[in-house]
């Protein structure tokens, strides 16, 4: 079976970049940390994780329940009122073609019901590690792929590896 090397390289080149793109996208999702913060000082638009007392948050019953012991509300801070935070909490997702839309609900969380708050921040060290590891892995795959596609040339006097036959061998050492 003989393949045209240009066609083989073209097919590999086209499929490699979307794979690397998705590795980067998925890898960057894990490059965030949650740091304890004062919920009254959080900026509007920040991603927050709030540990709340369910008796003090009546709107908590409207969001899908989790299996955690302490109720956790994760979402984007939409607004700050005199006695409560307003969070946009994702409740479902809808896919339309290639696009996935997150469907959310805004809920009020009174200050009295918040046990602790955490702010989602980008971890630069993890991000650099994931990006450099992905680039190194991609470079290794490319070099290994080039070695497989274009093996080292043999001299015309050498026999092809398929014709070499070992009749006997003597182990030394």
Structure tokens at 35: 């740091």
Fold of 33-122: SH3 type barrels. (2.30.30)
Rounded Cα–Cα distance for residues 154 and 106 (Å): 69
pTM of the predicted protein model: 0.56
Structure tokens at 94: 């809808």
pLDDT tens digits in sequence order for the chain, 173 residues long: 444 444 444 444 455 567 667 766 666 666 788 888 887 788 888 899 988 887 777 776 666 555 555 688 888 999 988 888 899 988 888 888 888 888 888 888 888 888 888 988 888 888 888 788 888 888 888 887 776 666 666 566 665 666 566 666 777 76
Rounded Cα–Cα distance for residues 145 and 20 (Å): 15
pLDDT of residue 154: 58
pLDDT of residue 78: 92
Helix count and strand count (H, E) for the chain: 2, 6
């Amino acid at each position: 079976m003989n393949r045209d090397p240009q066609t083989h390289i073209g097919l590999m080149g086209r499929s490699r970049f979307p794979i690397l793109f998705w590795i980067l996208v998925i890898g960057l999702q894990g490059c965030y940390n949650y740091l304890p913060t004062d919920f009254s000082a959080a900026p509007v638009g920040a991603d927050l994780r709030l540990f709340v007392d369910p008796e003090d948050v009546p709107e908590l019953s409207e969001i899908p329940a989790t299996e955690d012991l302490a109720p956790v509300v994760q979402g984007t801070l939409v607004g700050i009122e005199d006695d409560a935070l307003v969070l946009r909490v994702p409740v479902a997702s809808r896919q339309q073609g290639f696009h996935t839309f997150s469907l959310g609900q805004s809920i009020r969380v009174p200050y009295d019901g918040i046990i602790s708050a955490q702010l989602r921040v980008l971890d630069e060290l993890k991000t650099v590690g994931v990006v450099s590891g992905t680039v190194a892995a991609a470079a290794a795959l490319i070099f290994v792929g080039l070695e497989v596609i274009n093996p080292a040339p043999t001299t015309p006097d050498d026999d092809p590896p398929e014709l070499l036959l070992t009749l006997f061998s003597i182990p030394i050492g």
